[in-house]
Structure formats: structure tokens, C-alpha cells
Amino acid sequence: MPTEYSDLRELLDEILETVPDSRSVWCTASIHFETTVARRRGVLLGGAWAPQLLGETEDLWPVPWTMTLLQPRVLAVERLASPFWKWLPLLEGVAKADESMVVATEEIGDDFLRTLVANLARRTIKASAVRSGTGVSLLGRSCACPPGDHRALPRVKEAWIRKGASVVFPWADADWPSAPEIAVVEVGGEDCEDQRARLRFLAEAIREADRRG
């Protein structure tokens, strides 16, 4: 890993002393030259169920190894297994409405996972599936059967997903006052090229911290 961004390494070390673990630390591109740290309320979930669910997004400055979903519907369900076809109308509803969705589940069937990955590859849907976390109760829990209309699912401001963790942000911090505080490093730079390099460096540093657990 490059060593020229010691300021980001030091900043990450300082932040890690203030949060439970690296899952509470995220990064994004700043709209300013300076690098700053924001604190936001968010629900922490587990990481993505498959590497294909971390594909590139349409962001102008995407965060490496991270999927960002804007205003996604949230399906929180204990198990999403066979018969997988009963969930297809829900996926189709999200796709036709040109919306996005994040599925938080403790167990997922291979058939559903393959279908989701295939649709992502064809760019017919914007969605991801993540492992559930302790904060999933704030998102509501769906019954074993999918709702008849995707609009029955709650909608949040955004969801950020990586291999080791995911975070879902509400429309306003006051919506989830009991949710944990998330540290978001807004990475700046001297120019666009420098900003992308710094963002990649910090994303890799956070990923290393995830691996260390």
C-alpha cells in the first residue's frame, strides 16, 4: 500500500480510537479540497453476500470496493430461501420503478443470489444483499412472504455496502436516535486525480482494518 498519505493513516487511527471497530468508519469523496470527518446516525449490518454485489456504481467518484445505493427500499427478512421465484415479482417491481433495494437477511438461497447477480450484470436492477446485523430491528422485519407491492417496503436515504460491513442511513439523524454514530471521512485532494488516489488509499486502509477484525 502507498505510504505517501500518512495524514489519512493518522486520521484513521485517531477515528478508530473513538468507535467500537472499523465497521463504524466509512469514506466518501468530498466536494471540497479539505478532508473532514462527519458523524452520522446509521444502522450497521453485515457485509455483502457475494463479491458480484460490490460492482461499480454510477457515482462520479465511486468509493473502491463499495456499492452505494441511493434511496433504496429495504427488505429485512430472516431467511430468503426457496422457492426463490416467489420473490421475483418484488424484484421486478423495483426494477420497473427504476428504484434500488437492499436485502438484509440471515440466510439467502443460491437461486435468489444468482438471479440478483445476473440482473445486476445486465443492469436491469440496482440492488444488493447483505447479512443482517444487530440493528436490523430499526428497519422493520418483513414476514416470510414478500409484500405484494415493493412500495410497502421502507425507504431510506442511502446504503453503503462493502465486504466486511454495510450501513444504512436515515433521511435525518432524528429518525433513528438510538442508532450508532458512524464516522464518515469526506476525502479531499489537490485535484481530481489526487482525490481519487487518496480515496482509494483510505478505502484500502479501512478494508485492512476490517480484515483484522
Measured distance CA(169)–CA(177) in Å, rounded: 12
Checking if the pLDDT of 70 tops 90, the result is yes
Long-range contacts of 192-200 (CB under 8 A, 24+ apart): 195/29, 195/30, 195/61, 196/29, 196/61, 197/2, 197/5, 198/5, 198/8, 198/35, 199/27, 199/28, 199/29, 199/61, 199/63, 199/64, 200/64
To the nearest whole percent, how much of the chain has pLDDT over 90? 72
Q: What share of the chain is helix, strand, coil (3-state, %, to 5)?
A: 35, 25, 35
pLDDT tens column, 107-162: 999 999 999 999 888 889 999 999 998 777 777 666 667 888 999 999 999 999 99
Distance of CA 112 to the CA centre of its chain: 19
> What is the band of 79 on the pLDDT scale with cuts at 50, 70, 90?
confident
Arch. (CATH architecture) of 6-212: 3-Layer(bba) Sandwich (3.50)
Q: Which residue has the higher pLDDT, 47 or 58?
A: 47
Checking if the pLDDT of 3 tops 70, the result is no
Average pLDDT score over residue span 62-76: 93
Query: Domain limits of the chain?
Result: 6-212
